[in-house]
Chain A
Amino acid sequence: MNRVEPNVYELSTPGRPSHRFPDLDVPFAELPDKMLRDHLELPELSELEVTRHFVRLSQLNFGIDTAFYPLGSCTMKYNPKVNEDAARLPGFAHTHPLQDTKVLQGNLALMYTLQEWLAEIGGFAGVSLQPAAGAHGELTGILILRAYHQDRGDPDRKKILVPDSAHGTNPATTTMSGLSVIELPSDKRGNVDLEALRTECDDTVAGLMLTNPNTLGLFEEHVEEVIKLVHDCGGLVYGDGANMNALLGVIRPGDLGFDVLHYNLHKTFSTPHGGGGPGSGPLGVSEALLDYLPGPIVDTVEPGDDDLPPLYGLVMPKKTIGRVKAFHGHFGMHVRAFTYIRSYGKSGMRDIADHAVLNANYLLAALRDTYHVPFDRTCMHEFVLEGRFEKAPGVHALDVSKRLMDWGFHPPTNYFPLIVQEALMIEPTETESKATLDAFIEAMKSIAQEAEDHPEQLQTAPHTTAFGRLDEVQAAKELVLCCRPAELSTAET
């Protein structure tokens, strides 16, 4: 394989120093023999070599700071740099969760305010900031829902209804919670099939997991009826908030009747997503579920007055399902999300959703004549095309995606949702300019033409990246996760 950059062990030269220790200011002492090891293969490079190595590696990265990243359902929006400034303020960065809460009042005030804002944005009675990311928020939410039924003496509710367009994490969450998944089909317009839902609604239903807009990027047209059907049979409705970016400041899930919803701070609220994360998946709940929230959550323990701010403390809700995360969740992400909401302000929230939906519809309108759109109606913040061509049967969605890399774009989400053949799921987000969207449209149209004229150009793409087409089968079957010299040589034979 063509290796663009050797690994740090291969660059090592025995004996090359990269640092100088300061002179000893304590008496010299040998380490005890039994604590000495000689089998640690530490690379030996100069500081300049190390710097160049990691700068070169960083230049191979692709991220939202490099170029357009329309990865559907991931909301890869720009992460404003002011968020980073705020997170690095010494008062936040240099505190430790084991300090007395009396000296952490600033941090707690921020967390309390963020809880309140998220509750207001989603239309919920309370919020816990604990969950580490989206799927963790889902698990927490379903555990709350289960605790609620058990607490009411109704433990036989084991069914969780999950639409066939749902994120794969929904059925995984259900199974991990000890409940069983019932899949609901979608109707011709991409909504939950109401007839199928009616058939499943009985006294064994613990709840429904609903993503709105769903993963086709479509608003659930019967959302109020869907929620009512589930409530009428005694179930609760979990909202997968992955697509909340489409709704900010326009509709509040709590007002629609959702009982629980997780927010993805790393999607909707602009904190870093992916390798640079970590994520953060706060959970909002209705009044009836407040007591079950995981804790601790931040509350005012002494009210303030005109002269003094309130005293904040950490409290456990009465019937809490317990702690789901060490300390208080990913606090650094809370600071970034707080900063983001503060920067945009209340009216700005709606601007985010409006522009995200406008950008997606602009792309959809320009591409629907070139690519087949299986559920074609006005979309929300994302949409799904089919990456297949009648005149080029050998070309697949994956080939379109790989070819987009030659145009400098990150591929959209492939092969999801599962109910669309050769799915390409595109989410531009609100932070892209018309010029970028137009360049993407040109690329997509050109690739569709090329699929007919020169299919091999797609099937062997990408051609301009540091690495060409990777062998995904071998990558999935032969995991090599460690790259020290010994393992490397084994892996390459």
Chain B
Amino acid sequence: MKFPNELKYTESDEWVRVEADSATLGVTDFAQDQLSDVVYFEVVVQVGDKLSKGDAVGILESVKAAADLYSPVSGEVTEINDALPDNPELVNSDPYGMAWMLRIQMSDPAELEQMMDAGAYQQNTEERSG
């Protein structure tokens, strides 16, 4: 299970990669492992949409369960990974790379401080797996 140090994490298993005030969003290795084979992915926002922290941005379905994705930051959607809906299995094979979901121009980067670092997130997932 991978927990890259350079990323920020949420309790609902999204990761964020920050470059200047742009945030790239995806779901974590732990989440894909829990979901098992992902068979469906849909983004429910469009480029240009203004998001508030906590807004639902996508839907994932696996053979076991369905899950909503939430944006941990506020801002404007600048880019969406168009390849993902046709290749949802990328979420399983490359959660932190090819399976990025969307990019957001952050309006309030201070929100990142409420997210977990890799160590805290790893501990959080261990507690949840009992």
Contact = CB atoms under 8 A, between A and B. Distances in A.
Contacts of B65: 415, 418
Nearest to A374: B130
A415 B88 CA distance: 21
Nearest to A472: B63
B39 A473 contact: yes
B39 A477 contact: yes
Given A374-B130, A421-B129, A476 B39 contact: yes
Contacts, number: 21
B39 A414 contact: no
5 contacts: A374-B130, A414-B64, A415-B64, A476-B40, A477-B40
A415 B89 CA distance: 20
A476 B40 CA distance: 8
Interface in B29-50: 37, 39-40
Nearest to B37: A473
Contacts of A418: 65
Interface size class of A (residues with CB under 8 A): 10 to 19
Contacts of B130: 374, 421
Given A472-B37, A473-B39, A477-B88, 11 more contacts: A168-B66, A374-B130, A414-B64, A415-B65, A418-B65, A421-B129, A421-B130, A473-B89, A476-B40, A477-B39, A477-B40
Task: List 5 A-B pairs, minimum CB-CB distance, nearest first.
Answer: A476-B39, A472-B63, A415-B64, A473-B37, A477-B39
A473 B129 contact: no
Of B39, B61, B66, the most chain A CB neighbours within 10 A belong to B39
Contacts of A473: 37, 39, 63, 89
Interface residues of B, number: 12
Interface of B: 37, 39-40, 61, 63-66, 88-89, 129-130
A418 B12 CA distance: 14
B129 A476 contact: no
A421 B130 CA distance: 8
B31 to A, nearest CB: 13
Of A168, A374, A414, A476, the most chain B CB neighbours within 10 A belong to A476
Contacts of B63: 472-473, 476
B124 to A, nearest CB: 15
Nearest to A418: B65
Interface in A399-421: 414-415, 418, 421
Of B63, B88, B89, B130, the most chain A CB neighbours within 10 A belong to B63
Contacts of A374: 130
A477 B40 CA distance: 7
Of A168, A418, A473, the most chain B CB neighbours within 10 A belong to A473
A29 B63 CA distance: 56
B21 to A, nearest CB: 30
A473 to B, nearest CB: 4
B32 to A, nearest CB: 13
A374 B64 CA distance: 19
Interface string A209-231: 00000000000000000000000
B106 to A, nearest CB: 26
Contacts of B129: 421
B30 to A, nearest CB: 12
Contacts of B66: 168
Nearest to A386: B130
Interface in A456-493: 472-473, 476-477
Nearest to B35: A415
A473 B61 CA distance: 11
A421 B129 CA distance: 7
Contacts of A168: 66
Of B39, B61, B64, B129, the most chain A CB neighbours within 10 A belong to B64
A116 B121 CA distance: 54
B7 to A, nearest CB: 24
Contacts of B37: 472-473
A421 B128 CA distance: 9
B19 to A, nearest CB: 32
Interface in A424-478: 472-473, 476-477
Nearest to B66: A168
A415 B65 CA distance: 8
Nearest to B39: A476
A473 B65 CA distance: 12
